[in-house]
Structure 1
Amino acid sequence: MKEWLLKVNRTLFELETGILLFALASQVVIAFFPQRGEWSRGLWIGILTACLCAFHMWYSLDKGLSLTEKGAAGYLGRQSMLRMAVVALVLVICAVTSAGNLLTAFIGVMGLKVSAYLQPVTKKISRAVYGEEILPDIITENPVDEQETRR
């Protein structure tokens, strides 16, 4: 399993881990309510949607970075609208059918946002799995020679 995790993009791993931590915490809270079956279904529908959106976001950004500036802007805008449409469709399905509670499905989708705020926690988990992050050196400009500035 660790070999598979090492192949997954580190940022995507941290985002998905945060979503799952939020899901577990939300599930614990839902367990105290009498409608926990319907609420849990809605929550996990939203969590699944958030996880798929996170993956799609990573994939879109990865592909968009290889395009020209103008092409990337259009591509990323279309992909973002596609994600919003999918989230809206999932919420409409939950509202029209009895697949799950609409409110908890929305809360599950918001796990994507909460995961971004959990980044300090998920970073620690990421370090435990991947090890310390090796960042590239910062590019610095050559300092101007003092004699040239005095002229």
Structure 2
Amino acid sequence: MRMKEKIIRINRTLFELETGILIFGAVCQLFAFLTKDKAGYSLGLWLGILTAAVSAFHMWWSLDRALDFPEKEAVKSLSTHNILRYGFITAVLMLIAVSGRADPLAAFLGIMGLKASAYMHFITQKVSKKIYGEEDILRPAEEPVDGQKV
């Protein structure tokens, strides 16, 4: 299967979020030359970026799964998965801090790529349009009128 076909099978919003995380990581990597411990900064940053990417995928997966549940079960499921995700992020940061091999602040910066990516939506949407093509995803679905099929 070609790379473009694999990318198209991925959820478009998830693709845009992951693309933004990678762009954020690349921009932050440019500042590695300003630090004393360039290797520690880079390692911490990319471990944070990886954590953000895994968290974004988990967020998409848990939301997609919860939409199939009744309201009370969906809320419970989402709350449980939020706690698991925050626990994972905390564990990663603690392991990085204890290991001493990577910069924990750079890792935190990488994890913030998840938030930065959400703000860069207007950029990542342009990349997405080149791969997925033009699509009006904001247009509401047509609803049947008086029981008629549309």
- Could you state the TM-score of these two structures normalised by the residue count of structure 1? 0.89
| Structure 1 segment 66-77 matched on structure 2, within 5 A | 66-77=68-79
Residue from 128, 131, 134 that aligns with 1:129: 131
Name 1:104's counterpart in structure 2. Answer: 106
Which shows bigger deviation, 52-61 or 93-102? 93-102
Contact 1:45 1:108 in 2 (8 A): yes
Distance change (3 Å), C-alpha of 1:15 and 1:93: same
Residue 117 of structure 2 corresponds to which residue in structure 1? 115
Q: 1:6 aligns with which of 5, 8, 11?
A: 8
Match of 1:145 in 2: none
- One-letter code of the match for 2:23? L
Which letter does structure 2 place at the counterpart of 1:96? V
**Rg larger in structure:** 1
Moved more, 127-136 or 13-22: 127-136
- Aligned residue-pair number: 142
Q: What is aligned with 2:40?
A: 38
Task: Name the amino acid aligned to 1:42.
Answer: G
Q: Tell me how far apart the structure 2 counterparts of residues 99 and 24 of structure 1 sit (CA, whole Å).
A: 21
Alpha-carbon deviation of 1:24?
A: 0.2
- Structure 2 matches for 1:54-73, cutoff 5 A? 54-73=56-75
Matched to 2:111, the amino acid is V
Instruction: Pick the aligned partner of 1:91 from 90, 93, 101.
Output: 93
Give the secondary-structure state (helix, strand or coil) at the position aligned to 1:91: helix
- Which 4+ stretches in 1 moved above 4 angstroms? 138-142
- After superposition, give the CA deviation of every residue in 1:90-117 in whole Å (9 maximum; x if it has no partner): 0100111123111000000000000000
C-alpha distance in 1 between matches for 2:6 and 2:84: 28
Map residues 8-23 of structure 1 onto 2, 5 A cutoff. 8-23=10-25
Compute the displacement of 1:35 (Å).
1.2
Length-normalised TM-score, structure 2: 0.89
Report how far residue 137 of structure 1 moved: 3.8
Q: Distance in 2 between matches of 1:80 and 1:137?
A: 29
Q: For 1:3 and 1:134, locate their aligned partners in 2 and report how far apart those are by CA, in whole Å.
A: 20
Identical residues among aligned pairs (%): 44
SS of alignment partner, residue 34 of structure 2: coil
